[in-house]
Chains A and B, each alone.
Chain A
């Protein structure tokens, strides 16, 4: 239900559990290092040290900038298209009923198989990365938005009519707040998947970005670089997702 109802003792033990999970992951990492050796992975300590040293390098930040630009553009496009499509399909019930299974089926396609096609369409560079990110993110956002509109209890709209609301007031004061939490969940899922799409895009046809650094590290057998970049991406993604999850819970607190 809500964070306010979680007793402090439970919250403490929750934090402890999460700390234990992080520790377990570190132990696994160290174990993998001990097993595979420095030709495959670097130790946690060495990785963190190298990652910190990278933060002072100009080339690192220009790669971060490239990924950030591609990611923010993808996310903006995927969110806008997804929300608009979801609202449209949700309000136009017939189209929604026809499209929903098709979208769900489309989504199961391994999207990486489409990447050569994307490259032919958009060429190497930013636009291909963005397109690939959008392809990953747009369908979940659409499906969540569609579900939000379809799941809206009809009595809320009937109440709006009974209280003599104008269509604009109904949209703004009933429809929007009613579907917002669900749409936000869709955006949160879209966030992760768009990031995935952009990184994959950078790995295979790009001269810049975090995905490029990872693959470059592998190609040049620069294990230190690969591991450190992966660590930074993972930590960033986890922190961002935790933030979004907290906001999501806040929005749902009243449900």
Chain B
């Protein structure tokens, strides 16, 4: 039944050596009377099946990075690739995006929300039912299948949005601070679920977060970004095993990782706030 969510496994040419997704010299400048240089230049290669997190001070262009990789926004310069093809003007098939804001459709039940993308894509109804059923079970939404989003908590709604993306079987999942609006406990538990989902789908994950512990616990690699215009100041490997969960926070290595991330971010966050590091 696990194959109901696994998009990566079915992909032909999965052994291709090239990066699954990559950004090459990407910048993004918001034009206007006073143009804002939001991002880059950035170089990033995501290996297939990798869990990569980006941390950075607020306003450093983290969300812009997601938009550009997803094809929701065009880069001002540079090249964006996904599975060997350039990403241009349109979200390519195989990329799923989860936003920070609640993006559930209030006029649809949980089930219909999750089935939404599949139905628009014209997927066979029996197949829609199979995948939605599985996603509902996987995300722990069984009791709320017929509820409307307004009846759910923020964490539950975010699960609906994740499930809605999941059923499309993305091979690259982009998450833009998906747990930003949730409380700390819920965040840790959602992190566990995200890990489970990542293992099961074998998808590549790019997670934007402002929480150092989240990045340190979830990722294979973490990129620390500078204040605007955002650039990577550090790329660090966590070295965690694939089978992992939030109990990692008790590991000795965990503290070392968060400390190293914080040493970069402290200075950058101060810059972002307009101060200078003492």
Using a CB–CB distance below 8 Å, which chain A residues touch chain B? 1, 153, 155-156, 158-159, 161-165, 169, 173-174, 177-178, 180, 253-255
Counting CB contacts under 8 A, is B105 at the interface?
A: yes
Whether A161 contacts B91 by the Cβ 8 Å rule is yes
B148 contacts A153, C-beta separation under 8 Å: no
B97 touches which one: A153, A156, A162, A253 (CB < 8 A)? Answer: A162
Tell me whether A156 and B70 are in contact (CB under 8 A): no
Known: A153-B101, A169-B120. Is A162-B150 also a contact (CB below 8 A)?
no
Chain B residue with minimal CB distance to A166? B120
**Which A residues lie within 8 Å of B107 (CB)?**
177-178, 180, 254-255
Contact yes or no, B120 A173, CB < 8 A: yes
- Tell whether A165 pairs with B120 under 8 Å between CB atoms, given A155-B99, A158-B72, A158-B99: yes
Contact in complex: B106, A255 (CB < 8 Å): yes
- Is B96 in the interface zone, CB < 8 Å from A? yes
B68-97: which have CB < 8 Å to A? 70, 72, 90-91, 93, 95-97
Asked if B103 is an interface residue, CB under 8 A from chain A, the answer is yes
Query: Closest A-chain residue to B174, C-beta based?
Result: A162
B91 touches A162 (CB 8 A): yes
- Cβ distance A152 to chain B, nearest Cβ, rounded Å: 11
A177 to B164, CA, bound (A): 18
Chain B residues close to A by CB (< 8 Å): 70, 72, 90-91, 93, 95-97, 99, 101-103, 105-108, 116-117, 120-121, 148-150, 161, 164-165, 168
Q: How far is the CB of B208 from chain A (nearest CB, A)?
A: 14
A155-B99, A163-B117 given; A177·B91 CB < 8 A: no
What are the residues of chain A within 8 A of B149 when measuring CB–CB? 254
The answer to whether A174 touches B105, judged by C-beta atoms less than 8 angstroms apart, is yes
CA of A159 to CA of B117 in the docked complex: distance in angstroms? Answer: 10
What residues of B have a CB within 8 angstroms of the CB of A253 in the complex?
148
Could you jot down 12 A-B contacts, CB within 8 Å? A156-B103, A158-B97, A158-B99, A159-B97, A161-B72, A161-B91, A162-B72, A163-B117, A163-B121, A173-B116, A174-B105, A254-B106
A163–B103 Cα distance when bound, in Å, is: 12
| Nearest opposing residue in chain B for A159, CB measure | B103
B121 with A164: CB separation less than 8 A? yes
Query: A residues within 8 A CB of B101?
Result: 153, 155
Q: Which residues of B contact A165 (CB under 8 A)?
A: 120
- Nearest A residue to B149 via CB reads A254
| Pairs A-B, 8 closest by C-beta atoms | A162-B97, A163-B117, A254-B148, A155-B101, A159-B103, A177-B107, A155-B103, A155-B99
Given pairs A153-B103, A159-B103, A162-B70, 11 additional interface contacts (CB within 8 A)? A153-B101, A155-B103, A156-B103, A159-B161, A162-B91, A162-B96, A163-B164, A163-B168, A164-B91, A174-B105, A178-B107
* A159→B108 CA distance, assembly (Å): 14
Q: Assess the B105–A156 pair: CB atoms within 8 A.
A: yes
Q: State the Cβ distance, B165 to closest chain A Cβ, in Å.
A: 8
A163 near B93 with CB under 8 A, answer: no
CB neighbours (8 Å) of A164 from chain B are: 90-91, 93, 117, 120-121
Give A253 to B168 CA distance when docked, in angstroms.
Answer: 29
What is the CB-to-nearest-CB distance from B168 to chain A, in angstroms, rounded to a whole number? 7
Residues in B with CB closer than 8 Å to A180 are: 107
Per the bound structure, the CA–CA distance linking A153 and B103 in Å amounts to 8
Give B161's nearest chain A residue, CB to CB. A159
Cα separation A169 to B118 with both chains bound (whole Å):
13
In Å, the complex CA distance between A163 and B93 comes to 9
Is the CB–CB distance between B116 and A163 below 8 Å?
yes
Given contacts A164-B93, A173-B120, contact A159 B150 (CB under 8 A): no
Closest chain-A Cβ to B246's Cβ sits at a distance in Å of 27
Note all chain B residues with C-beta closer than 8 A to A162: 70, 72, 91, 95-97, 99, 165
Which A residues are CB-close (under 8 A) to B93? 164
Question: Is there contact, CB below 8 Å, between B103 and A158?
Answer: yes
Question: Looking at A1, A153, A162, A164, which has the most chain B CB atoms within 10 Å of its CB?
Answer: A162
